[in-house]
Every structure is written in C-alpha cells, then in structure tokens.
Structure 1
Amino acid sequence: MSADDVDVSVIIPIHNAGQWLDECLESLFQQQHTLNVEVSLFLDSCTDNSKTIVEDCWTSRLKDIGYIVTVSKEDNGTPKGVGYAKNRAVEQSRGKYLCFLDSDDTMLPQRIQKQYELAYLNTNAIVGCRFKRDPPDSTVRYTKWANELSETQLNIQVYTSHGPTVIMPTWFCHRNVFDSVGGFSEAGKGTPEDLIFFYKHIGSGGKIIRHDDELLIYRYHPHATTFSIHEQTIWDLRIQELQEKVLKNWDTFTIWNAGKQGRKFYRSLTKENQRKVTAFCDVDVKKVGSYYTYEETKEKPKPKVPIIHFSESKSSLIICMKMELTGGQFEENLRSLHLEEGKDYHHFN
C-alpha cells in the first residue's frame, strides 16, 4: 500500500499512557475491515514506557498485518497538551478519513469499517458511535444520555452537557471536516479542545451523526484528560455559544428552574440577555408567586424577576433541569406544554 492509497488514518495522541497502550493497540490489531489503514501516533513528552511500547512492541506488528505506521514525538519539559498532539498526528497522516482514538480506550473489531461506511456517505459530519463504559457503573446517567440521544437531539442538545453530544474518542470524519475547522485548540492543559472544535463545526453548518452500534470501550479513570478541565471553563463556553446561537434571536424567554442552577444561569448572562428574562418557572409552590432579585448587579432599581408555575410558561424556554431525576414527572410536565425542542426550548442542564 502506498501513502496515496490510505483510506483511513487512526489518530492516536499519547502522553504517559503505558498502562493502557497495549490494550489500545491490540484493538487496532483486531480490527476487521477491507480498507487501507494508517496508524498515526504522536508521543507528547512521555516520561513512562509509552515510547518503548510503540516502537519496540507494536510498530512492526502493525506493519506486518498491512498498516502504515507513522510515529513522531517531542520531548519538552512540559507536554503541550492533547489538542497539540492530535493536530501533529493529523498533520503527519495521509488518510482521506480520520478515526480518532484515545490511548486509554479500545475499539471493538468493527469500528473502523462501520464508521467509515457512514462517514463515506456523510462527508460534512462528525460521525460518532455508541460506546461501553469501563467500568460499567461509572457515569451511568451520562452514558445513557449520550447513547440514547435521537438523531435530531444530537444536533440540538449541544448546550446540555459538559462535552459534545458524540464523545470525542468516538469521532470519525472526512479530513475536510478537520481542515474546515482548522484543527484543535492548542491552548494546553485545562482547555476543552473537543468542545471548542465541536462548536466551530456545527457553527459552520457541519452535522453530527452517530452509528448506533457500540464500537468503543470508553475508559473512566482519575488520570483522564477530562479531569484537568475546570467545570467553570466549560460552563462559560456553553453560555457563550447559547447566547450567540439562540438567545440573540429571542426577544424574551423564561428560565425553567428557580433554584440554584437557574439563578446561576441568569447571573451568567449578559445584561442584555438578563433583560430578556420575563420569568423563572418552577413546580415548587413555595417559590411560585415570589420574585428573584438580582442583588449582585449595580443596576438601580435591581432587577426583580417573577417566579411562575411551569404551566403558565410559554415558549421560549431555557431548561436548567437535569433529566431523569424525578421519576419521569419533569419530563411529563414538559410534554404537557406541547413545545418543540430546538425551536421553543433548549436544554442547559
């Protein structure tokens, strides 16, 4: 196979992943496909045995079964981060399609073939897949949410969670998707580079699709990169996107949740968008009929926002409630309003 004939490049950024790397690369060895595949690995200032595992154990094994293997590395005093490593791995790769794989995760045998077939028909999409969590009892609600989103919700519940509606380790896309966004942020540790990429992609008209088979085992452990990202950083990014993509088009709206989360959401808005809030709505009769006063503002008089019963609310709504925590009662209340998600309301929970 020549470099010009590569169908798919598997993109693997690596930083001190020695304890998981054998399993990750073994899952490449076990792939069942009819494609020309390259493995592009970038080692970002590893101080463990990752380099030895890649160069002495796996490079020749992968080449022996027909893969092109491209490896590069940098040894700096401080690693430059996962966004930087992904960009370098993509830049040195040659495939028409990109299959992203984190070095602590593993692929099920049909992953490359099945996602390629879907991406081939959707060259303007990030193609994800359902996944299994390891260990299975970690992040149960998040896993259920991500795996059960409908095709429509993949593209409209984009302000809902701490990450994209298809998790980054499952991403598969045409190279043009990467090029049109311009790669991942290289701001380093603490940067949600996947969410930034995701918002740029959908902001330019890109689509989100998910293969409905479980094709990846997504490992949960305390050293995962996601734990280096501060919750407030992700909150601020989500707020910014919601204001730019949704709230600027609404003249008025109601916040569903007069409690802590709804009030934090209100305080995070620009003054212009705070003035658009006509009410909070809630089911708690102790709150209904009272007001929320924004004491922190320097405006005089201080804004006072009424709290109404949810049944009195109209579109447009921003819902700051977590799903599936009330035995289905919240979901039933929402359905009773006969509103259309993505048009009349958005989740921010």
Structure 2
Amino acid sequence: MDKKRKFIIGVSMAIGLVILGGGALGFHYHSVKAEEKKQAEAQQAQTKKLQQTIQTYQKEVNAWYTDDKKEGLQKATTEKEITAMESKLKKLEGKEMSVETAAKLNTLVMDVGYARSMLDAQTKVASLFDGTGALVENAQLEAAEKAVNQLKETKPAFVKVQQKRLTEAKNQVKTIEEATKAVNALYTNNKRETVQSNVTQANYTTAKTKVGSIKQAKAKKTLSDALAKVETVLQKQKEVAQQQAEQAASTNDNQATNGNTASNGGNKTASSHSQAGSDSSNGSSSQAGKSSSSSAKSGSKSSASAGKSKSSSKASGGNSKSNNGKSGYDNMKPGDRWTVEWEDKGVMESDAGRTWGYGTW
C-alpha cells in the first residue's frame, strides 16, 4: 500500500515537473516574441525618422538648384550651406536602413556632391572677370576650364552656360595678346625701350585700335603709355619732315626767282639787240626800198618810152669791165656810174599804182 502511494506520488511529482517545465518554456517563447516585436517597431520608427530626415535634407538641397533637373545653381547658394549639409550626411553613415531608404540617401548625397562641383566651377569662371566684365590680371583660365569640363557629361546645360563665359575670357586674352604684339612691333624689342627707326603712322594707328579694344584697365594703360612714346617720336618726325619740306620749297622758290631774273635780263639784252638789229635792218631796208623805188621809177620811166618792153640804159662814163680781166665794180669809185638792164613786170596788185620789175648790172 505504501509502496503504491509512493509511486503515485512520484508519478504525480513527475507529471507536475513536466507541467511546470512546459509552462516555463511557453513563457520564454512568449517573452522573445514580444521583444522582437518591440524591436521591430523601434526599427520601423527609426527607419521612418531617417526617411523623414533624408526627405527634409533633400528639400533643402533642391532649393539650391534653379530647376527640377538641377542644371543650374541659385545665386544664393553658398559653400557654407553645402559644407553644413555634408556634415549632416556624415552623421548618417553606418546606420541600418532599408534598400529603399538607402537609395534615397544616395540621391541626396549625389545632389550635394554635384552642387559642390558646380559651385566650384561657377566660382572659378566668375573669378576670371571683375565687376565691369573685364578680364582680371593673372586670370586662372586653365583651372576654370578644367573645373567646367568635369561636369560635361552629367550637367551639359550648366557646362554650356559656363563655356560661353570661358569663350569671352579667351577672346579678351586674345585681344590683349594681339594688342601687345602690335605695340611691341613698334619697338626694337619687347622691353619697349627704343622705338623703331622706321616706325610708321599706319602701324601706330593699327596698334592703337587694338589697344582701344582691350577691356582690362591695367593692360590697356600699360600699352597706351607705350603708344604715347611712339606718338612723340612720330610727331618729331612730322616736324622734321615739315621743316625739310619748307626748306625745299624755299630753295625751289629762290631758284625759280633767280632763273626768272636771269631769263628776264637775257630777254632784255636780246630785245635790245633785236631792236638795234631791227632798227638797222629797217634803216637798210628803208634805204634799199628808197633806192629800189628810185630805180624802179627810173626804170619805169625808161621802159615807158619803150612800150613796156626790154630796155637798156647806159650811164655815161660807166664800164662793166676793166683792164686785167677784173670786174669793173672792183675799181669803182664814188661818183662812177654803171649800166642797168631793167625788165618791167607791171603793176603790183597789193600796192595800187606801184609797178615792179628787176634788173641786172
């Protein structure tokens, strides 16, 4: 009896232990599920909070850009803002998140990175010009161009705008270089110490026009000062040339005056000689005319009696020949006479009433 009771009790105790053990296991299982649920809820809350943080940050970053495609930066965007955002994003590193949340965070990080690159390129390009749009001295054109080209594939519209400004900067550099070359050509070397001896007004004008196209104040002043020296040399050349021209003109006038004086003197002498000769000739001609006229009249009278035919009259005492075969005219003395054979030719048409003819002796 006692043995049986003991067994039963033993069995009962075993059953109790089994029952109690089963209850303990059930409680532990229930406790683990509750903790996992709590952790899951906490994880969800954290994920939701992270997503909200990323969304807030994304709105701030979107405001930096001029459009939804993020092809341009607002003028108000500053490096300070970008640096502050980069610090915030750094705190999110290592956090557990869903794939969807990680994708959104990656987009945010990329937008911040592009903003920094665009601001850097835009700042470098802007630094090439002063407030008036003129190229600054020692402009870092190569660095600016490199920064812009890094965005050529990802931000083509932004790059296009910046390249226009780069082109303007390059054109100004070219203008300064061409003007400098033109001015240096007026000097014997690039130090601009001595002006070329054969410098011309045309070359000076060309260089001056190129210098006038420069926008940069310092380069323009430097080259303008160099042109002033050339202008001084050209002015002196003009003055020398003008003096030489005046001297040449004065010399020509004096020569012309002396030549005219000599010519007038010669003309006067020639005129005097001509007048004298003319007077002498006129006297001889007049005398000869008178003699001819007398002879003509004498002949006319002689021939009139002969009926306008050949007639001969012999002067008394006149001989045509003399002894020793010499002509009688060789031995003529004053008062001697000679024989003239006259042939009358009639009345002259141009001189009414006068007759003419010829005679031999």
TM-score, with normalisation over the residues of structure 2? 0.20
Task: Decide which structure has the larger Cα Rg and report it.
Answer: 2
Choose between structure 1 and 2 for higher RCO, CA contacts under 8 A separated by at least 6 residues: 1
TM-score, with normalisation over the residues of structure 1? 0.21
As a proportion of its length, which structure holds more helix?
2
